[in-house]
C-alpha cells in the first residue's frame, strides 16, 4: 500500500476546498485497506475516511493522521435471483464501498428498475450513500438508500484485531440523511436488493429528473449539494431565500443564486470563508425566521475555534 505524505485534499472533494492530509492512500482491495489501517494503528495516526468527497468540508489546515480515500475501492457483483413465484424474484447487487452511485444507476437502468430514479444525479460513492442515507425530497419509491440495503460489511478493530462484521438491515437505523448501528468502523461492502419489477418508462423518467436537477441546481459550479438539512415541516432553501440571502458571499464562497441551499465555490474559496458563510446563514435564518438550521455537510480535519 503506497502511503503518500502532505497530499492536497481539495481535488478529492466536490467543493474543491481544503488543505492537505498528513498521510494519504487509495486502497483498491480489502488487503490494502487492512494494511493501511494496521500502519495507522502502529503509528497511532487518527484515520479519516473519504468516499466521493461530495458531502464534506475539509479544513484549510488539512487533516492530521491518515486519510483513506475509497475512490479506487470499487467493484460490483450483480445477480438476478429468480424464485418460483415471479413476484418474489429480485435483483441483488454487492458493491464495494467506493463504487460510484452512478454505477448503481447504470445497473438499475439496465434492468429498468425503480431505484434508478432516485439515484439519478446523486453523486458520491455507495458507502457515503449508506452513511448519509442519501436520497431525494420527492415522494418516490424508493427515495433513500436505507430502503435498498439488505446488509453491510464493516471493518473495525476489536481487541487489537481487525474484524469483518456483517450487519443485517434490521441492525441498522435509518433516519433523514443519517444511518446508525454500524459505527465504529469503515463500511467496506454493501448488499442492495430490489424486487424484479420492470418500469418500462424508467429511462425517460431519469432523463426528466436529470433535466430538473440541471434547471434547479448550480451544477456548473463546485458545491457539496445541500448544505443544510431541511428542518421539520420546512425547506431550508425556502427559508434562506425568504431571508434574502441568495448571492450572499464571503470571499469566493457564495450562497447560490439558483438554489439557496447550495453554497458554491466561485473559484479559490477557502474552507474558513465557506464555514463563516454557513454560520452567517444560520444566524440570519435564526434571527428572521426563528429556525435553527443544522448542517448536512460533514466537517473534516482541524477547525480550532472556527
**19 touches ligand FAD by CB under 6 A:** no
Length of the chain measured in residues: 306
305 is catalytic: no
Contact partners, residue 266, CB within 8 Å, separation at least 6: 221, 249, 252, 253, 254
Of residues 88-117, which lie at the interface with ligand FAD (CB under 6 A)?
Answer: 97
Please report where in the chains the cell 419509491 appears, as a residue.
Answer: 141
92 is catalytic: no
**298 touches ligand FAD by CB under 6 A:** yes
Interface pick for ligand FAD out of 17, 36, 45, 54 (rule CB under 6 A): 54
**27 touches ligand FAD by CB under 6 A:** no
What is the sign of the dihedral through the CA atoms of 154, 156, 159 and 161? positive
**187 touches ligand FAD by CB under 6 A:** yes
Measure Cα distances from 65 to 7, 23, 69, 85, 238 in Å: 12, 6, 13, 52, 39
Interface pick for ligand FAD out of 18, 115, 135, 301 (rule CB under 6 A): 135
**136 touches ligand FAD by CB under 6 A:** yes
Q: Exactly one of 179, 196, 223, 226 is catalytic; which is it? A: 226
Interface pick for ligand FAD out of 3, 21, 49, 269 (rule CB under 6 A): 49
Alpha carbon of residue 201 to chain centroid: 27
287 is catalytic: no
Q: At what angle do helices 101-110 and 202-216 cross, to 10 degrees?
A: 150
Residue pair 50/67 in contact by the 8 Å Cβ criterion: yes
Interface pick for ligand FAD out of 25, 33, 40, 56 (rule CB under 6 A): 56
Active-site positions read 177, 226, 296
Residues that bind ligand FAD (CB under 6 A): 14, 49-56, 70, 97, 122-125, 127-129, 131-132, 134-136, 177, 186-187, 219, 223-225, 298
Amino acid at each position: 500500500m503506497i502511503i503518500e505524505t502532505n497530499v492536497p485534499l481539495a481535488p478529492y472533494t466536490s467543493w474543491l476546498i481544503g488543505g492537505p492530509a498528513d498521510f494519504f492512500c487509495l486502497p483498491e482491495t480489502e488487503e490494502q485497506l487492512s494494511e493501511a489501517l494496521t500502519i495507522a494503528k502502529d503509528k497511532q495516526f487518527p484515520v479519516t475516511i473519504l468516499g466521493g468527497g461530495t458531502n464534506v468540508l475539509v479544513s484549510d489546515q488539512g487533516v492530521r493522521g491518515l486519510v483513506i480515500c475509497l475512490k479506487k475501492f470499487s467493484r460490483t457483483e450483480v445477480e438476478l435471483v429468480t424464485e418460483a413465484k415471479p413476484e418474489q424474484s429480485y435483483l441483488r447487487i454487492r458493491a464495494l464501498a467506493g463504487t460510484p452511485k452512478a454505477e448503481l444507476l447504470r445497473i438499475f437502468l439496465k434492468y429498468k428498475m425503480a431505484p434508478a430514479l432516485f439515484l439519478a444525479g446523486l453523486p458520491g460513492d455507495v458507502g457515503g450513500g449508506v452513511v448519509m442515507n442519501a436520497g431525494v425530497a420527492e415522494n418516490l419509491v424508493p427515495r433513500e438508500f436505507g430502503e435498498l440495503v439488505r446488509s453491510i460489511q464493516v471493518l473495525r478493530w476489536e481487541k487489537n484485531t481487525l474484524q469483518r462484521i456483517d450487519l443485517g438491515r434490521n441492525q441498522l437505523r435509518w433516519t433523514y440523511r443519517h444511518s446508525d448501528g454500524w459505527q465504529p468502523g469503515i463500511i467496506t461492502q454493501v448488499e442492495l436488493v430490489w424486487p424484479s419489477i420492470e418500469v418500462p418508462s424508467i429511462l425517460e423518467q431519469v432523463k426528466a429528473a436529470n433535466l430538473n436537477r440541471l434547471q434547479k441546481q448550480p451544477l456548473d459550479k463546485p458545491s457539496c449539494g445541500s448544505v443544510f438539512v431541511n428542518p421539520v415541516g420546512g425547506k431550508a432553501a425556502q427559508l434562506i431565500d425568504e431571508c434574502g440571502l441568495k448571492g450572499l458571499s464571503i470571499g469566493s464562497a457564495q450562497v447560490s443564486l439558483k438554489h439557496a441551499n447550495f453554497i458554491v465555490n466561485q473559484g479559490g474559496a477557502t474552507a474558513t470563508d465557506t464555514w463563516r458563510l454557513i454560520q452567517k446563514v444560520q444566524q440570519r435564518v435564526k434571527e428572521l425566521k426563528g429556525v435553527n438550521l443544522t448542517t448536512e455537510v460533514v466537517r473534516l480535519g482541524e477547525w480550532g475555534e472556527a
